[in-house]
Amino acid sequence: MPRKKIELKNTVESLSILDANGKVDKKLEPKLSKDELHSLFRGLLLARRYDERMLRLQRQGRIGTYGPALGQEAAALGPAFAITKDDWFVPSFREPAGMLWRGWPMSRLMLWWGGNEIGSTPPEGMNDLPICVPVSSQIQYGAGIAWGCKLDGNKSVALAFVGDGGTSEGDFHEGVNCAAAFNLPMVIVVQNNQWAISLPRRKQTASETIAQKALAYGINGIQADGNDILAMVTATREAVDRARSGGGPTLIEAVTYRLGVHTTADDPKKYRTEEEVEAWRAKDPIDRFWKYIQDKGVMDEKARETMEAEITAEISAAVEETESYQSNNTEPFHHCFEEMTPALRRQYSEFQAYLSGADNGSPKSASSSAISQLH
Ligand SMILES: Cc1ncc(C[n+]2csc(CCOP(=O)(O)OP(=O)(O)O)c2C)c(N)n1
Ligand SMILES: [Mg+2]
């Protein structure tokens, strides 16, 4: 038996199209119309300004905990852009850019972060799952949905997101292995933002890249610059085409960085340096795309000012809508099951008795503003 190199049929590449200075690699530049470039920029900016506003709302005590996605906008928006309405969008918690793109009302995302179940209701007609915090559960959901799509023969693809930390979970392995073994129409985007709370990427896995894990599963993998929206659109388009035409799943490692706190309950100064953050700030996904679209004549400073003003107004209207939402405190009972289970029905009537004060506990108002109810 000779000793020889095993040639694997799948490959792992790395892809970068727009560099940190906004300079494009002409050979790799995807074909996008001016309208598409304009709306992609708006999607990035909307997500950035939403994120900034959410952080302020939290600091003012007007929402609960918030997990910012600052710096990761392109890694979420590029993939969302590359799928259709009939494809499935399975987010974790750092994809507001993708969710807003898919039509989630901003006020609903705000309600979610305020702890209200209404925030888990997907936009009408969209195949979307809500924000989901259990790390790596998204890969199980995505594989299950992709399996359903394959059995139905409906040509839809499931796009699921997970973090670098999530790749160490059993759920990740089971989900990707299932998708690979059953050749399911699934695209897995790992947002490698270099940290899992305080654990750095280098301690997360001994693998040189996360993308190469694809090889062991027998699927294609690609490492894309996650701060380069053109690379993310291209990588996802290729993966979606492959999945839709029966070529199975793809693992996309989006190399990005969490510029902000893990959540508002975290202080990153305790575990990482300001120099590291600054080095990544120089690779900001929005700044480089802005240079690119200016060079292409898509937008100028004046058009951006108008866009900024529109976005500010849109966000303020969403805050107002969120804060005027009248909670009746019973949403969690209605949003888990199509029909309440007997145990839940019993708890529901006990809770109603509590709200009316009939149980001799502390009577509570059932109709103050949404935000005050959400803590
Ligand atoms: C199953 C599970 N275990 C632990 C947690 C607590 N937790 C929330 S986020 C997080 C780190 C996740 O890191 P990563 O996957 O890199 O995603 P990131 O937060 O960087 O986006 C942990 C441990 C959780 N939400 N779910
Ligand atoms: Mg991470």
Q: Burial, 274: exposed, middle or buried (Cβ in 10 Å; 0-12, 13-18, 19+)?
A: exposed
What distance in angstroms lies between residue 170's CA and the mean position of ligand 1's atoms? 13
Which one, of 125, 183, 103, 99, lies nearest residue 149 by Cα? Answer: 183
> What are the tens digits of pLDDT across the range 85-96?
999 999 999 999
> What are the tens digits of pLDDT across the range 301-353?
999 999 999 999 999 999 999 999 988 888 889 887 889 999 999 999 999 99
Q: Whose CA is nearest to atom 11 of ligand 1?
A: 196
Structure tokens at 105: 């009302």
Q: What residues does 149 pair with on adjacent strands? A: none
| Sheet (strand 220-225) strand order | 12-15, 220-225, 250-255, 186-192, 158-163, 88-90
Q: How many CA atoms lie within 13 A of 123 on its CB side?
A: 16
What is the pTM for the complete model shown?
A: 0.94
Q: Which domains, and CATH codes, for the chain?
A: 12-18+30-323 (3.40.50.970), 331-373 (no CATH)
What is the distance between the alpha carbons of residues 184 and 247, in angstroms, rounded to a whole number?
Answer: 8
* pLDDT band for position 360 (cuts 50, 70, 90): low
* C-beta of 133 in contact with ligand 1 (< 6 A): yes
Q: Report the residue among 93, 135, 259 best suited for mutation to probe ligand 1: largest number of ligand atoms under 8 A from its CB.
A: 135
Q: CA 177: distance to chain centroid? A: 22
What distance in angstroms lies between residue 204's CA and the mean position of ligand 2's atoms? 10
* C-beta of 193 in contact with ligand 1 (< 6 A): yes
Query: Which letter, b or e, does each residue of 177-186 get, where b requires 16 or more Cβ atoms within 10 Å of its Cβ?
Result: bbbbeebbbb
Give the position, in ligand 1's atom list, of the atom nearest the Cα of 137.
Answer: 1
